[in-house]
Amino acid sequence: MKKYLFFTLISFIFSIKVFSQKNSLNDSLLHIINTTENKIKVTKSTEEKIILYIKLSVLFSPQKIDSAYYYGNLAYNLRQATNDAHIYYKAYINFARLNIDIGNYSEAVNILIQGYDKVPITKGYSSDTGKVATLAMIAGTYRITKDYKNQLLYSLKERELAEKNNIYRMYADMYADIGDSYQNLNNYDSALYYFNKDYELFKSGKRNTGKLVPIVNLGEINIRLGEYEVALSYLKKVIRDLHNFSYSDSVHLASEVCRELSKCFKNLGQKDSAIFYGQKSYFYANYFVLNDEIRESSLNLAKLYGAYKVKDSAFKYQNIYSLIQDSLFNNEMIRNLQIASIKEEIRQQKIIENLRLEKEEREQNLILAAIAVFIPTFLILIFLISKWSHRKSKLITSLGVASLLMLFEFISLLIHPYVQKLTNHSIVLMYIILLTIASILVPLHHKLESIIKNKF
């Protein structure tokens, strides 16, 4: 009876958290999105545009992942136009995260690897801190795809860089990642070693995030080592403390921990407890709509009832497992189709953007052409007026000098885009080139000004 009361209490707490999460999306969010989109239309700053695109991608994620990906991609593509290393870093990290969210894992890893050497120095931290975080993100992506060898490879790289630069605050998650890699590769002794190191950090109070993770990991590894009583002590502690920790911990651990407890009790020969926790694992998986957990918990129940010769229940959960497996496969196909659709939308948006830029370029070229025609026409007209006039006029001379100024400003205006492109927007190089051109044009300007004054 106490068990049922306990789980009723946990369910109530979780439902409150879920309800509060759902109600966090309201009209105020739409207002922020509209305000941000309007700012993008008027801003001329590349850096501000990137920041606003990233903001929109975060606001739209995960509810409208297509829009989130679209704006994240705009920020990622625009990052090349900025010399601000921090904004560059934010753009590529954000886009890598979005690719992970939509299941485009290979693209996410490529983005992270390409951006690894561009991690900036942040306030209070060296660039190596960001590099360690990037390696952790790569390792985590490989874990999702069940590529445990690469997960281990990048987890070890992460540890090597962190230890070399004394980045202690990263150790907790790192030890858990390495231990998880070894566990999935069936190297249980190494897994236990790193899980214990992570647990030591937990007990010392140095683990700031995922505080239940070390206990769960020790429970799981002891099951694999056949130490069921030891595993049980760890997993029961997690169940007792689950409602005291974060919503994220509660969602991701409730079903998993109950399933591991079910395996423990089965191996200890406690049938009722094994079924009880197996059912609770399935309940939480459905409650939080975690398809992977529904698949694993239904498979566990199918095996459990099969072992206990309860054929109807075994068939029921085997059927659920098959359906969710097919559903996940179909979801994978749908996800791939969504990725293709998003890419096509981005391609179409690029076409529209290119057409807009071409139109602006044509308009600018027409304006430049008009100025190019106007200046010599104006100069000829002033020259003819000076010839027709019977006396020299200071106004005519001033207009002649003004036409000369217009000519030289036009030359500067004309060459400026080419200088920008040639120097890749480097302020120092642009300054040197423009200074060199000015040193040629200024003496020429004085000489021509003298000629015009004499002629007019």
> DSSP state, 209?
S
Contacts of 67 (CB under 8 A, 6+ apart): 56, 57, 60
What residue ranges do the domains of the chain occupy? 210-312, 365-455
Residue 67, number of CB atoms within 10 A of its CB: 17
pLDDT score of 7 = 42
In this predicted structure, what is the pLDDT of residue 17? Answer: 42
pLDDT for 2: 39
Residue-by-residue DSSP string for 9-23: HHHHHHHHHHHHHHT
Q: What is the mean pLDDT of each run of 10 residues along the chain (456 residues)?
A: 41 40 59 87 88 90 83 89 85 90 83 82 66 88 85 90 75 82 94 91 71 87 93 89 69 87 93 94 87 88 93 92 72 55 64 78 80 76 68 64 70 74 72 71 63 59
The arrangement of secondary structure in 210-312, i.e. its CATH architecture, is Alpha Horseshoe (1.25)
Q: Phi and psi dihedrals of 125, rounded to 5? A: -135, 150
Q: Considering all CA atoms of the chain, what is the largest pairwise distance in Å, rounded to the nearest integer?
A: 121
d(C-alpha 441, C-alpha 435), whole Å: 10
SS3 125: strand
Place of tokens 């309800």: 19
Residue 395, token pair as written in the block: 């106004």
pLDDT (0 to 100) of residue 223:
92
Given this model, what pLDDT does residue 20 score?
39
Query: Do residues 148 and 178 lie in contact, with contact meaning Cβ atoms separated by under 8 Å?
Result: no
pLDDT value at residue 254: 87
- The answer to whether the bond into 443 is cis (omega within 30° of 0) is no
The pLDDT assigned to 15 comes to: 42
DSSP-derived 3-state class of residue 26: coil
